[in-house]
Copies of this chain bind each other. A is one copy, B any other.
Amino acid sequence: MNAAPFSLKTYLEGRKHIINASLERLIPTDRSPAARLFEAMRYSLMAGGKRLRPILTLAAFDATNKTGLPLERAMPFACAMECIHTYSLIHDDLPAMDNDDLRRGLPTCHKKFGEALAILAGDGLLTLAFEICSAFEEGHAAPAEVRLRAIHVIAQAAGMNGMVGGQTADMELEGTNISFQELDYIHDRKTGALLRASVLLGGILAEAGPRDMQALVDYGTRTGLAFQIRDDILDIEGDEKTMGKARGSDERKKKATWPAVHGMKQAKERMQELCELAIQDIQILGDQATPLKAIAEYIMKRDH
């Protein structure tokens, strides 16, 4: 009897389900003088994201797990990536930043809870990421050295030389005549760093060897850039209803994007090439990497 063919849709739904169940438990629901903070954090965290970053962590873990380690080992780190992703969206949406009213079809955090609480909710989610990763758990936790290394990868990807640096560069260079190198700098950090880190974490927690880790680094870098190019394309060609946000915001804000700098045709070709190379990168991981391969294909076709 043959195994059923791999269905990405079923896979993504299943993963999203267990990730949401874990995220659901992170933020207290009890009455407390800080209850509004918990509410704001939960509102944005549970607003129905694709959960791509935690899914990548779990998929990379599965792809390099050679000794049957339990998936629970990777779960806190997967959840941490979603907390960091959500915090970055909350702060990016603020009036002083992108000043966006809608996110995933819902009012943004500051529209719903006010600016002060939105700032604090972002701060709380960023800190929560590190709280989860360093929590003492029974049974399934990875060795301390491994967890420390994973925490460092997250902090580097999220911080001044990663996402926060990329966000700054993006803002500082808005409306200027940007060079190819500057565009690469922004893309590599603004979204790329966090996506690459999500993939790396899986390998770190599975205690993958150097050859497998290198495959994940390459895959993570290429899919990260492809993801950003797809984002830029969707901002021009996407369907507003499916995306849950308005189109054309990059152009209005004079943001540097791949289609704007290199042209739409070039952007689409480059995105496709990156995804194909990413799939080649992980050939050496064999069948265990089937979900990772399917995710690379999904990234170039996604409509939101």
Listed in ascending order, the chain A residues whose CB lies under 8 Å from chain B are: 27-28, 32-34, 36-38, 41, 87, 91, 94, 96-97, 114-117, 119-120, 122-124, 126-128, 130-131, 133-136, 143-145, 147-149, 151-152, 154-156, 158-161, 164-169, 171-173, 182, 185-186, 189
**Are A152 and B164 in contact, CB atoms less than 8 angstroms apart?**
no
Residue of B nearest to A189 (CB): B34
- Copies of this chain in the oligomer: 2
CA distance A120 to B186 in the complex (A): 15
Known pairs A123-B91, A155-B127, A158-B127; A33 contacts B172 (CB<8 A): yes
What CA separation (Å) do A161 and B28 show in the bound complex? Answer: 9
Option from B34, B97, B134, B154 in Cβ contact (under 8 Å) with A152:
B134
- Alpha-carbon distance between A196 and B182 when the two chains are bound, in angstroms: 43
Q: Check if B38 sits within 8 Å of A160, measured CB to CB.
A: yes
Indicate whether A168 sits within 8 Å of B36 (C-beta atoms), given known contacts A94-B119, A96-B116.
yes
Q: Is the CB of B168 within 8 A of A117?
A: yes
* Minimum C-beta distance from A237 to chain B (A): 27
Q: Which residues of B contact A128 (CB under 8 A)?
A: 155, 159-160
6 interchain residue pairs of minimum CB distance: A33-B169, A96-B115, A127-B159, A34-B165, A144-B144, A131-B155
List, sorted by A's number, 19 A–B pairs whose CB atoms are closer than 8 Å. Answer: A28-B161, A32-B185, A33-B172, A34-B160, A34-B168, A34-B169, A91-B120, A94-B119, A97-B119, A120-B164, A120-B167, A120-B168, A123-B123, A124-B164, A128-B159, A130-B151, A131-B152, A134-B155, A147-B148
